[in-house]
Amino acid sequence: MVERSDVNAEAIPADVLRSTEPVLLRGLVRHWPLVQAARRSNADFCDYLRAFGPQTRLALWRGAPQINGRFFYDADFTGFNFERQVNAFGALLDELLAGSPDALYLGSTELDTAFPGLRQQNDLPVLARFDPLVSLWLGNRTQVAPHFDLPDNIACVVAGRRRFTLFPPEQVANLYVGPLDLTPAGQPISLVDVTQPDLARFPRYAQALERALVFELQPGDALYIPSQWWHGVHSLEPINALVNFWWRQSPSFMDTPLNTLMMALLSLRDLPPAQRDAWRALFDHYVFDANEQTAAHIPAAARGILAPMDDHSARQLRAALRNRLNR
């Protein structure tokens, strides 16, 4: 477990931003006005947020008290145990302050569009070169199942306490991941309840726990989460808020590899084993083990999609794939 308390928000070192393991950054954003307001009181925190658009209507999740804050599937996996609503932001703040028994969760709401001016007062300027997506997450005592995100992430707790349970990417087989095409918020999730895992039903989860990292963050703390690390998030107070920064270390023209996974399910998974092994060798050669020698024997002008990709060639390849799929 890597924990640091010496990192300045104005100069996050490169070894943190390139780390392949999570890094807890104690007190990174304790100077933010959002954090200072939350440290005074929940009322001060909500008053501070209210100044940035109380009438703005935003999408949120609402679950009945019976779900105990755990947003999940319904009993037969045809839908979910919560409903999506659109409410005025000020009304949500009022409901949180009043101690609503419902599970309330405002997720991934972009600061620059929903709350003009908020980011200017609560920012990590050192990340500007990455052009990150900056979002607010706000709710009461809620639980989000382990999932992974494609971008790298710095999650900054600004109110309440949050417990993060993280698993390295190679633990996917031990996390009992649910459907890929029916998900609460776009990413597949683990079906295991992190707070009370049923090891009789999910025995391999015990192996995942051996590799798990657990961090509890206070207001002002931040957590760097590398791309594709699975993380479950448990909000522990009546009012909890987080601001996160997402960015990718890859060119913007690259598609999500989840598209590749979907195509592989369509075209590779059900092949005879010998054919699947042959395709594995091709993928290793052209993708996973690719280097400067992979296409060195082909004249540079004739390498086509084996040449280094750029925005123009990516558009051409995307168009060719569309034509192939439209059959």
Q: pLDDT above 90 covers what percent of the chain?
A: 92
What pLDDT shows up at residue 1? 65
Strand-pair partners of 154: 224, 245
Q: pLDDT above 70 covers what percent of the chain?
A: 100
Diameter of the chain measured on Cα atoms: 69
Using an 8 Å Cβ cutoff, are 144 and 233 in contact?
yes
Residue 75 CB neighbours (<10 A): 8
Encoded tokens for 296:
């060195």
pTM: 0.93
Q: Say whether 55 sits in a helix, a strand or coil.
A: coil
User: Cβ-count burial of 139 within 10 angstroms (0-12 exposed, 13-18 middle, 19+ buried)?
Assistant: buried
How many Å apart are CA 180 and CA 164, to the nearest integer?
A: 23
How many Å apart are CA 86 and CA 257, to the nearest integer?
A: 31
Question: How confident is residue 53, by pLDDT bands cut at 50, 70 and 90?
Answer: confident
The residue-averaged pLDDT of 68-78 equals 96
The residue-averaged pLDDT of 186-196 equals 96
Strand-pair partners of 177: 190
What pLDDT shows up at residue 265? 94
Q: Say whether 216 sits in a helix, a strand or coil.
A: strand
Alpha helices in the chain (DSSP H): 14-17, 33-40, 42-50, 89-97, 111-114, 118-121, 205-211, 257-267, 273-283, 311-325
In CATH, the number for domain 2-247 is 2.60.120.650
Q: What is the mean pLDDT of the chain?
A: 95
Q: In this structure, what is the dihedral angle of CA atoms 167, 69, 3, 9, given to the nearest 10 degrees? A: 120
- The structural domains of the chain, with segments of one domain joined by +, span 2-247, 257-325
